[in-house]
């Protein structure tokens, strides 16, 4: 019954793909809609070569898709709920962050334009 093993390996592959700050920022940047490589490079203040390399990785794992229009290549998230799921990880980040800035998680959600699910208090 190697299914558990297979699944954990597939999950680990996904996590490895997301284990880079710039790739997370790319996914966040694409949350508001498709963007081309130059636009992403400007938004993240990184060389476009690097953006291409990251996008190629995300593309081979089917997390983003490409649409070409003239010289521009526009990228979009295949499954937009991915970005929401990523933000659900905020409660699990190291305690230091939570202690040093008590409302850092809410700040992050606000910065990334996501409604606070605990907005009752």
Least distance from DNA to the Cβ atom of residue 74, Å: 7
Half-sphere exposure of 41 (CA within 13 A, CB side): 13
Cβ nearer to a copy of itself, comparing 95 with 119? 95
Least distance from DNA to the Cβ atom of residue 5, Å: 13
DSSP string, 43-102: HHT--HHHHHHHHHHHHHTTSEEEEEETTEEEEEESSTHHHHHHHTTGGGS-HHHHHHST
Cβ nearer to a copy of itself, comparing 24 with 41? 24
Residues 6 or more apart in contact with residue 86 via CB below 8 angstroms? 18, 24, 27, 28
- Which option in a copy of itself, DNA, none does residue 51 bind, with CB closer than 5 to 8 A by kind? DNA
Beta bridge partners of 36: 74
- Which option in DNA, a copy of itself, none does residue 2 bind, with CB closer than 5 to 8 A by kind? none
What residues line the site for a copy of itself (CB under 8 A)?
Answer: 1, 3-5, 7-16, 18-25, 28, 61-63, 79, 81-82, 85-86, 88-95, 97, 104, 107-108, 111-112
Least distance from DNA to the Cβ atom of residue 83, Å: 19
Least distance from a copy of itself to the Cβ atom of residue 33, Å: 18
Helix, strand, coil distribution of the chain in percent, nearest 5: 60, 10, 30
């Amino acid at each position: 019954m190697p299914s558990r093993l297979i699944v954990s390996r597939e999950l680990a592959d996904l996590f490895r793909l997301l284990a880079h700050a710039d790739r997370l920022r790319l996914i966040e940047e694409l949350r508001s809609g498709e963007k081309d490589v130059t636009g992403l490079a400007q938004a993240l203040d990184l060389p476009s070569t690097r953006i291409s390399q990251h996008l190629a990785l995300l593309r081979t794992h089917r997390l983003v898709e490409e649409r070409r229009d003239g010289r521009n290549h526009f990228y979009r998230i295949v499954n937009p709920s991915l970005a929401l799921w990523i933000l659900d990880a905020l409660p699990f980040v190291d305690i230091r962050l939570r202690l040093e800035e008590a409302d850092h998680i809410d700040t992050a959600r606000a910065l990334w334009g996501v409604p606070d699910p605990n907005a009752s208090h």
